[in-house]
């Protein structure tokens, strides 16, 4: 039972695919420190981890469930390996040592773009759904132990869609449907995709759930200073990354504490070392515990005075 007069603490979990495994470690660290999560909002991988924890508020069990899934035959590791090896965070070309390697990269990258042209996604819809079903129970969001909202993007209107009721699996599918990689999700007459394009770190959505204090998890990759502007497509991806970075910084201003695990070097498609990523998230939670406790004490002191 939460003590009377205690603040409602909300967790805003951002998108970042494989880097989102660090969310699990952060939850472990916060749980061990006795910091309760009263409400959770998640985008993309943040929605998947957040929904799993909201259904089963035990970080160790969430940790074990994700490891079972990643090491199972149902996880499309070969497809993520392909994306990791041939698509960078901003889809920026890196200098390669010779013409044979360059040719190989161009052909394989062309395969990805070609498959996206003739099909709705790189990963088939049935594989996408099977993975979500392995991790999440067949519940409605209203039945979860912790209030939860998943953030998605409406392809037609371009608007943010907050999914705080209805089928849990569908909401998480929609929030994590990376365009081109996973298929859009048809939901109540709308075509929904990954929420990262409108709200990568859902600080405002978790406030709407009633959070007094918001702890945000930023697992995005820093914009690198580079001058490899050799092709128009590179420039398109670069400018898109800049726009999203600026928007994200604005959205993060509404948080009280921001956890930034040191995983910027990790590719979003690299699921080869999940334990390392989880451990880095746990370490960041431990590092920020004094600040989190200070914010909680300040809130309590203001509440007493008022």
pLDDT above 50 (res 102) = no
HSE (side-chain half, CA atoms, 13 Å) at 67: 14
Is residue 114 over pLDDT 70?
no
SS3 of residue 261 by DSSP: coil
Catalytic residues, by residue number, are 44, 194
Quick one: average pLDDT of 242-267?
Answer: 78
The SS3 of residue 127 is helix
Query: Between residues 269 and 275, which one has the greater pLDDT?
Result: 275
| Tokens 């209203």, residue located | 142
32-47: pLDDT as tens digits: 999 999 999 999 999 9
In 14-118 the beta strands, taken as DSSP E runs, fall at: 39-43
> In this structure, is the dihedral angle defined by the CA atoms of residues 155, 158, 162 and 166, taken in order, positive or negative?
negative
Q: Which pLDDT score is estimated for 146? A: 98
Question: Residue range 126-131: average pLDDT?
Answer: 79
Mean pLDDT of the chain: 79
Residue count (the chain): 306
pLDDT digits (tens, 9 = 90+) for 57-67: 999 999 999 99
Report the C-alpha gap between 218 and 250 in whole angstroms: 13
Q: How does pLDDT run across 217-235, given as a tens digit for each residue?
A: 998 765 555 555 555 545 5
Strands 190-194 and 213-217: unpaired
């Amino acid at each position: 039972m939460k003590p009377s007069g205690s603040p409602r603490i909300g967790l805003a979990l951002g998108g970042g695919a494989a880097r989102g495994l660090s969310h699990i470690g952060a939850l472990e660290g916060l749980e061990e420190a006795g910091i309760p999560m009263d409400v959770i909002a998640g985008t993309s991988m943040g929605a998947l981890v957040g929904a799993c924890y909201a259904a089963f508020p035990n970080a160790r069990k969430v940790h074990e469930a994700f490891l079972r899934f990643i090491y199972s035959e149902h996880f499309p590791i070969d497809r993520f390996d392909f994306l990791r090896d041939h698509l960078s965070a901003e889809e920026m070309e890196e200098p390669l040592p010779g013409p044979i390697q360059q040719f190989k990269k161009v052909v394989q990258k062309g395969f990805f773009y070609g498959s996206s042209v003739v099909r709705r996604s790189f990963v088939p819809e049935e594989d996408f759904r099977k993975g979500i079903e392995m991790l999440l129970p067949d519940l409605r969001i209203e039945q979860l132990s912790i209030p939860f909202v998943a953030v998605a993007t409406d392809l037609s209107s371009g608007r943010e869609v907050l999914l705080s009721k209805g089928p849990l699996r569908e909401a998480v599918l929609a929030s994590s449907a990376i365009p081109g990689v996973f298929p859009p999700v048809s939901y109540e007459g709308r075509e929904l995709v990954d929420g990262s394009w409108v709200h990568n770190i859902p600080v405002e959505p978790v406030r709407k759930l009633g959070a007094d204090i918001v702890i945000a998890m930023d697992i995005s990759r820093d914009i690198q200073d580079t001058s490899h502007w050799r092709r128009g497509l590179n420039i398109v991806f670069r400018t898109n990354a800049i726009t999203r970075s600026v928007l994200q910084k604005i959205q993060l201003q509404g948080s009280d504490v921001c956890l930034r695990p040191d995983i910027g070097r990790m590719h979003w498609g690299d699921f080869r070392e999940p334990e390392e990523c989880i451990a880095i998230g746990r370490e960041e939670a431990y590092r920020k515990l004094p600040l989190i406790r200070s914010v909680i004490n300040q809130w309590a002191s203001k509440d007493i005075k008022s």
